[in-house]
Structure 1
Amino acid sequence: MKANYIENFQEWEKDFSFYSEVRVRFSETDMYGHMNNTVSFTYFEQARIDYFRHLGILMPSAGDENMKSIPIVADLQCDYVKQVFFDDVLRIYTKIARVGNSSIDIHYLTKNQKDEICFTGRGTIVQMDPLTGKSVPISDEERARLVSLVI
């Protein structure tokens, strides 16, 4: 397995502790019964939201007029290792890999019910001002808290 964001797979893998579990639905598969390649990104999204909730990072409400910043996905990557099929149970592991000035790099590791690696991924979440569309620095307090979570 070779993804450009993983230097040492064993070291990278051991740093995951949080995961969300999903069961592959029939509607997420193609005529051969394997998961459509776009579904992994939906799983990453749900795992990221679950992870943020677990960490106490609140997602802003769309109706909140006092919102100073919102998290947006700046990029997202998936590397496929093993086919996934209808009714497979997947664990989507999620971790913060790096905290930048206004961004957070998130890494993902997905395993099936046999504990086999199916796909990995990474993405950058940027804190953005909803009025200007420009990135906003993460506060020192929040940055320190996030950095403490990076293993």
Structure 2
Amino acid sequence: MFSEEFNVRFYETDALAHVSNTVLVGWFEAGREPIFKLFTLELDLQNWPLILASYKVDFLEQIYYGQKVQVRTYISRIGSSSFDVYQELWQEQKKCATGTTTLVHFDFKAKKAVAINDEIKATLLVNSYPE
């Protein structure tokens, strides 16, 4: 599991006094940064090796300003060139949201998916969601 913690910033709240639904996608992306570094340690945007194929977010509880949030990131599926990232957002010991993202190892010059090497697959597997 990868874990990141964030402070909820005032501007991330909405008129209903809870965190806006649009903010979670950004937190989930930031929580995937350790995975990005497996593919490009320097996060080199000129040679980016991943493409987002899909994502889904489920909202379970409201999230509030003034309390930190934690994003827990796991790998839930590994294919030959793609993998699914399952994430949970926690605040005050409550699971407030979940998300699943499909990422594809991608060669932008050739415009096609490429196989994930065995070393990266092994690291992804270590961070699999416990079933």
Q: Which residue of 1 aligns with 2:23?
A: 39
Q: Matched residues, percent identical?
A: 31
CA distance in 2, matches of 1:72, 1:133: 11
Give the aligned length.
Answer: 127
Give the alignment of 1:1-151 within 5 angstroms: 17-49=1-33, 51-52=34-35, 57-59=38-40, 60-63=43-46, 67=47, 70-112=49-91, 114-150=92-128, 151=130
3-state SS of the aligned residue for 1:57? helix
Over the aligned positions, Cα root-mean-square deviation in angstroms equals 1.9
Q: Structure 1 residues 101, 32: CA separation in 2 closer, same or farther (over 3 Å shift)?
A: same
Relative contact order (C-alpha < 8 Å, sep 6+): which is higher? Answer: 2
Deviations 1:3-30 (A, max 9, x none): xxxxxxxxxxxxxx43100111111111
3-state SS of the aligned residue for 1:101? coil
Larger Rg: 1
CA distance in 1, matches of 2:76, 2:24: 19
Deviations 1:31-53 (A, max 9, x none): 2221111111000000010x327
Aligned-pair CA distance for 1:148: 4.2
Aligned-pair CA distance for 1:118: 0.5
CA distance in 1, matches of 2:7, 2:120: 33
3-state SS of the aligned residue for 1:104? strand
Q: Structure 1 residues 19, 143: CA separation in 2 closer, same or farther (over 3 Å shift)?
A: closer
Deviations 1:64-94 (A, max 9, x none): xxx4x61111111110000011222111000
CA distance in 1, matches of 2:119, 2:63: 40
Gaps of 5+ in 2: none
Q: Structure 1 residues 124, 37: CA separation in 2 closer, same or farther (over 3 Å shift)?
A: same
Aligned-pair CA distance for 1:110: 1.1
3-state SS of the aligned residue for 2:63? coil
Gaps of 5+ in 1: 1-16
